[in-house]
Structure formats: C-alpha cells, structure tokens
Amino acid sequence: MPERVALITGGARGIGRGVALDLAKDRWDIAICYRTSQQEAEEVKHTIEGQGGKAMAIQCDVSKPDEATKLVQQVEQAYGQIDALINGAGPYHRVSLLEETPEGWSEMFTNNLDPIFYLAKAVAPGMQSRKYGRIISFGMANADKMEGQTHVTAHYIAKVGVLILTRTLAKLFASHGITVNAISPGFVDSGSAPPEELEGMAKKIPAGYIGGVQDTVQAVRYFLSDDARYVTGANLHLSGGWGI
C-alpha cells in the first residue's frame, strides 16, 4: 500500500488508539487529536515513531468549528494531504431524561455529531481535488432502530444523526471518489467501561461475548481498503448480534 495519511479524532485512547497503532504498522502517517488526554496521546505518538513511523498529536476541541478547520489545515500542511478521516471522538453518559441538564443534553450533540460535520467540510476540498478519500464515523448498534431510550436519550439521538449525516455525505461525495461509512459498535472492551459491567452485558449478547478493539480495527480496515471502494453510505453493525 502506498503511504497514506489518517486523521483520527479521539486517537489517544480506546478504539481510536487501536486504529492509529494498527494503521501505522502499514505505513500510514498518523495524526491524532485529543482534548484532555495529553499523556496518552504522546504515548501513541512515541510508540509509532519508535517503530519508524510518522505521527503527530494535536490538542484540539473539534466541537468548535474554527478549531476543527485549523486541525485539518495543520495536518495537511505537515503531511501534504489527508486520505482518511476517522471520527473517533465522542463522550457518553447515562442519566434519566427527566434528570438531564441543558448542558448535558447539548454536550452529547456538540461532541458526538457536530465535529463530523465540521471536519467533513474541512477535509472535502483536498479529498475532492485528489479524487480520493475515506470518512468513517461511529454510530451505535441499535441506533438505526430508533427505539425509545430513557437513560441515554441525547447520546442516542446524536448517533441516529450520525447515520443520517453519513448517508448524506456519502451521496454528496460519491462522484469525487470519496466513501463515507459508519461503524456501529455494541459492547466493545475499549477500556472505558468497568469489567464487571461488561461481564454482565455479555449475557445479553447473542454471540455470548464482548467484542475487542481489534474487531473494530478490522472493520475500519475494510472501509479503508480498495475492497470497499464501491461501498458508501453503509452502516456496519459490530455487536455480536446485540441491538439488531
């Protein structure tokens, strides 16, 4: 594979970190951004560089349009291009809808949905000029069912929005050689949830076990590969049968 450049938001920890380290092994130049996880971001950068790869870690709040645009400009200036945008950033919290605060409600949309829009607009000119690009975002395994959710309401609605935005961008960019797809995980052990909580959830998963970061990495790799060049606007469930 020729050298490619990937911009990964939320690349300091969890799934984003796993994707960054995996792609770096395959000669991808990596740019990750983080908001607060500076130590973890630097560890990812140093690990990649220690293996002979190229990496940069940039502090950025991609929920702010100006910062998102500057991030893309900084990566393009350093590497000359961005071939893949992987939208891995996005917080999550559980709270009863009637106990949700205006700030908590807004945060779920501001950080899970808005950055995809800002960053897609920012990377579009470069990808369109090269007639090549890959954009991957993360949904939620049962978001396409649009069920009532009493304790993750705003987060869930934001993930439904991710799927709609994915299809819209896919339609807009298809003629430019750019694919836009979503991966919708169920329960994946990315280090963010307590082990006992994951163990309890395993009983509700048809496959009988919790997925790992590597499962997500392989899904990302598929969408980045030439095997998926004709796949756009897709939503890939990664849940062991949960949520379908």
Catalytic (active-site) positions: 156
* CA–CA distance, 52 with 141 (Å, rounded to integer): 36
DSSP 242: T
Positive or negative CA dihedral for 62, 65, 70, 73?
positive
Q: How many CB atoms lie within 10 A of CB 68?
A: 25
225 residue type, one letter: S
Q: How many CB atoms lie within 10 A of CB 189?
A: 16
Q: What share of the chain is helix, strand, coil (3-state, %, to 5)?
A: 50, 20, 35
